[in-house]
């Protein structure tokens, strides 16, 4: 545990993630330092803690102190530094200047304490690329952008390049979209053959729900009827069938779902239709053939890793051989836009294991590659059963992501979307790479407020975007049983959300 004492909590939400980036997995307790001095290490301890970080701001300076064993009779002062507060400049937003300066001071301080640097520097938000996009829109040159990312945010040269490339590709893609003239559709099939150890999605065991699949599809169809009414006069720009694992549907059920969509919507303006086939243990030739009967343009075959031992450890219950078979089958049937998802930082994996996964994927030559960094989500087994995985520490995740970047570029791919989540190994990122013309449009749409996304199915989250810039979320319940039982309520929520 780390106790953070602040005499001013204005920037607490910026301080917390930066401290966590240097001390991953630490439990933070933030307290008010009501004293006039920053010598909180001398005061009565309130709880057991390993470290005490005091940040004491005045109008002229910031004093940062780090104490070890703060609960001991005599806490040990590990480091203390005083940083001057910047002078306000005419016309600037002084609060932002102070915040950024405080983050830089804290970064340098913690970097000196831990001996570490962070690839993304002081940037702790989930969309670091947004900052670069704003600089491009300001008209800054690439050199000027990189210089600012380095001096203002301490971002590494590699992340500067990644952020810049991603921002340019994302911007180009966004400009090609229809925006509010169109909409997107998401259908959730929240069933999986087994539950992966890191899973934080809506996922239910197929074995338990297989008998309810027809009732589930009936409910989805009811929602599709309503969405077709609400979007009358518009054509979908993208459709995404996600999960869970959509290929848990039997071939006839898949055909029923896809033909139900094709019958309800005018697909003449469709730019992308993705079916996230996902788990190789759920993919069969019959299912892929059923998908091929519709204008589905993109599928995913997700290995996560090409190491069987890791697959067993994380509960994926499929083998590398099954991934290779599923991929070959998809190619045989003519799929020419296949995405593969992999994860850096899986338990027990070394950079060499990860490099082997990238190399095997390079030989398959998919059109896109999505590289996730392992995130320890609260409800995931990786977190709830932490002791089960304690002996399988992950290797250097940053080195893995560099290998993925190099591998994707070798395959002729460009990064086109990037985001971060809480509790990611090394405070790193998830990046989507694709070959030219094969970017996953829906992946961009879910991060931006460009057009409405209507979602059907358990756990589906609709996002309505209105012409006046407003946007609103309408959530379906996650629990499949509740979704089926309360389908009329899900429909009523959508009606209350209003037509476009």
Binding footprint of ligand SF4 on the chain (CB under 6 A): 192, 195-196, 199, 201, 203, 243-245, 278-279
Identity of the residue, 201 or 416, whose beta carbon is nearer to ligand SF4 in the bound complex: 201
**Which residues fall within 8 angstroms of residue 32, CB to CB, at 6 or more apart?**
5, 6, 7, 9
- Angstrom distance (rounded) from CA 129 to CA 291: 34
- Angstrom distance (rounded) from CA 316 to CA 308: 9
Tell me if 38 sits within 8 A of 7, measured CB to CB. yes
Q: How far is the CB of 197 from ligand SF4 (least distance, A)?
A: 9
Q: How far is the CB of 489 from ligand SF4 (least distance, A)?
A: 25
Identity of the residue, 17 or 460, whose beta carbon is nearer to ligand SF4 in the bound complex: 460
Q: How far is the CB of 99 from ligand SF4 (least distance, A)?
A: 36
Whole-Å CA distances, 320 to 127, 248, 360, 370, 406: 33, 19, 10, 17, 22
Identity of the residue, 131 or 277, whose beta carbon is nearer to ligand SF4 in the bound complex: 277
DSSP annotation of 129: H
Identity of the residue, 183 or 198, whose beta carbon is nearer to ligand SF4 in the bound complex: 198
Q: How far is the CB of 243 from ligand SF4 (least distance, A)?
A: 6
Q: In whole angstroms, what separates CA 272 from the centre of its chain?
A: 21
Tokens 């290995």 locate to: 303
Query: What would the two tokens of residue 473 be?
Result: 């979320």
Identity of the residue, 245 or 462, whose beta carbon is nearer to ligand SF4 in the bound complex: 245
Q: How far is the CB of 200 from ligand SF4 (least distance, A)?
A: 7
Identity of the residue, 201 or 216, whose beta carbon is nearer to ligand SF4 in the bound complex: 201
Tell me if 429 sits within 8 A of 419, measured CB to CB. yes
Instruction: Tell me how crowded residue 15 is: count the other CB atoms within 10 A of its CB.
Output: 22
Kindly give the residue spans of alpha helices, DSSP state H, lying in 200-279: 206-209, 213-230, 251-264
| Exposure letters 427-442 (e unless 16+ CB within 10 A, then b) | bbbbbbbbbeebbbbb
Identity of the residue, 63 or 381, whose beta carbon is nearer to ligand SF4 in the bound complex: 381
Q: How far is the CB of 248 from ligand SF4 (least distance, A)?
A: 9
Q: How far is the CB of 282 from ligand SF4 (least distance, A)?
A: 9
Q: How far is the CB of 8 from ligand SF4 (least distance, A)?
A: 41
**Which residues fall within 8 angstroms of residue 118, CB to CB, at 6 or more apart?**
21, 22, 107, 111, 154, 427
Q: 251-264 and 213-230 are packed helices; what angle lies between their axes, rounded to 10 degrees? A: 10
Identity of the residue, 75 or 244, whose beta carbon is nearer to ligand SF4 in the bound complex: 244
Identity of the residue, 70 or 459, whose beta carbon is nearer to ligand SF4 in the bound complex: 459
Identity of the residue, 122 or 368, whose beta carbon is nearer to ligand SF4 in the bound complex: 368
| Closest to 438 (Cα-Cα) out of 300, 258, 304 | 300
| Closest to 273 (Cα-Cα) out of 190, 362, 323, 335 | 335
Q: How far is the CB of 228 from ligand SF4 (least distance, A)?
A: 27
Q: Residue 490, SS3? A: helix
- Angstrom distance (rounded) from CA 400 to CA 398: 5
Instruction: Tell me how crowded residue 299 is: count the other CB atoms within 10 A of its CB.
Output: 25
Tell me if 417 sits within 8 A of 442, measured CB to CB. no
Q: How far is the CB of 423 from ligand SF4 (least distance, A)?
A: 16
Q: How far is the CB of 313 from ligand SF4 (least distance, A)?
A: 13
Identity of the residue, 11 or 201, whose beta carbon is nearer to ligand SF4 in the bound complex: 201
- Angstrom distance (rounded) from CA 120 to CA 429: 9
Q: How far is the CB of 25 from ligand SF4 (least distance, A)?
A: 21
Identity of the residue, 382 or 400, whose beta carbon is nearer to ligand SF4 in the bound complex: 382
DSSP symbols for 316-332: ----HHHHHHHHHHHHH
């Amino acid at each position: 545990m780390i106790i953070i004492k602040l005499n001013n909590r204005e920037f607490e939400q910026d301080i917390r993630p930066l401290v966590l980036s240097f001390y991953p997995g630490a439990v933070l307790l933030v307290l008010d330092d009501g004293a006039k001095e920053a010598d909180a290490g001398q005061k009565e301890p309130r709880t057991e803690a390993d470290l005490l970080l005091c940040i004491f701001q005045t109008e002229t300076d910031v004093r940062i102190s780090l104490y070890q064993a703060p609960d001991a009779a005599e806490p040990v002062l590990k480091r203390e530094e005083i940083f001057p507060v910047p002078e306000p400049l005419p016309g600037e937003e002084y609060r932002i200047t102070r915040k950024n300066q405080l983050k830089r001071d804290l970064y340098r301080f913690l970097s000196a304490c831990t001996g570490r640097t962070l690839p993304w520097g002081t940037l702790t938000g989930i969309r670091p690329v947004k900052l670069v996009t704003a600089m491009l829109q300001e008209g800054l040159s690439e050199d000027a952008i990189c210089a600012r990312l380095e001096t203002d945010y301490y971002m590494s040269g590699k992340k500067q390049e990644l952020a810049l490339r991603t921002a340019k590709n994302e911007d180009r893609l966004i400009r090609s979209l229809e925006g509010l003239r169109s909409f997107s559709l998401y259908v959730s099939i929240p069933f999986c053959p087994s539950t992966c150890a890191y899973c934080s999605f809506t996922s239910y065991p197929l074995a338990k729900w297989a008998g309810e699949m027809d009732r589930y599809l009936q409910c989805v169809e009811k929602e599709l009827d309503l969405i077709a009414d609400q979007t009358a006069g518009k054509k979908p720009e993208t459709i995404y069938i996600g999960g869970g694992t959509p290929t848990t549907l039997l071939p006839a059920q898949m055909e029923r779902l896809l033909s139900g969509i094709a019958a309800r919507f005018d697909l003449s303006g469709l730019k992308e239709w993705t079916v996230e086939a996902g788990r190789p243990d759920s993919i069969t030739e019959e299912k892929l053939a059923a998908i091929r009967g519709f204008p589905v343009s993109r599928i995913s075959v997700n290995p996560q890793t090409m190491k069987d031992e890791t697959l067993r450890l994380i509960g994926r219950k499929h083998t590398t051989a099954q991934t290779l078979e599923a991929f070959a089958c998809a190619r045989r049937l003519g799929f020419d836009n296949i995405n593969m998802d992999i994860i850096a930082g899986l338990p027990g994996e070394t950079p060499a294991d990860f490099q082997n996964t990238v190399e095997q994927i390079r030989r398959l030559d998919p059109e896109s590659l999505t590289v996730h960094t392992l995130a320890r989500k609260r409800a995931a087994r990786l977190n709830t059963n932490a002791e089960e995985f304690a002996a399988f520490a992950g290797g250097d995740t940053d080195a893995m992501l560099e290998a993925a970047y190099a591998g994707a570029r070798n395959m002729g791919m460009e990064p086109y979307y990037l985001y971060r989540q809480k509790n990611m190994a090394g405070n790193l990122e998830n990046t989507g790479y694709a070959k030219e013309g094969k970017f996953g449009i829906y992946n961009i749409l879910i991060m931006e407020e460009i057009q409405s996304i209507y979602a059907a199915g358990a756990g589906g989250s609709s996002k309505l975007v209105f012409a006046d810039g407003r946007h609103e979320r309408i959530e379906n319940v996650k629990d499949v049983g509740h979704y089926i039982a309360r389908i009329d309520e899900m429909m009523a929520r959508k009606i209350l959300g209003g037509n476009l």
